[in-house]
Amino acid sequence: MGGAIVSPCCDVFQMIPIAPYFFQNRSVIAPLTRRALVEAPKNFEIFVDGAHVGRDNHLEVMKSSRYFTLLRPKNYDFFNVLKSKVGYGRGLR
């Protein structure tokens, strides 16, 4: 969708507009310590990870009080996985 590649060690959230009306609309990366309020002049549809949430004219994004533990293999390396899946870090051909 055009969002940035963010290392899992970064405590951030990323908001990415899908098919924005204006070319100037870009993805936003912000620290989890902040809250983001998105306001629209008219009601708009809200989707989170593909699930329809509702219609409103504003959306507040913040860190949840709920969490989970993500288990990874002992020798897991985010950037090696990225390189193998999308070729990140390889030279241009």
DSSP label at residue 65: S
User: Structural domain boundaries of the chain?
Assistant: 12-62+69-86
Instruction: Give the pairing type, strands 51-61 and 36-48.
Output: antiparallel
pLDDT score at 66: 93
Model confidence pTM above 0.85: no
pLDDT at 74 over 90: yes
pLDDT tens digit sequence for 41-54: 776 777 777 788 77
Inter-residue contact 42 to 23 (CB < 8 Å)? no
pLDDT tens digit sequence for 9-26: 999 999 887 777 776 778
* Dist CA 14 CA 6 (whole Å): 9
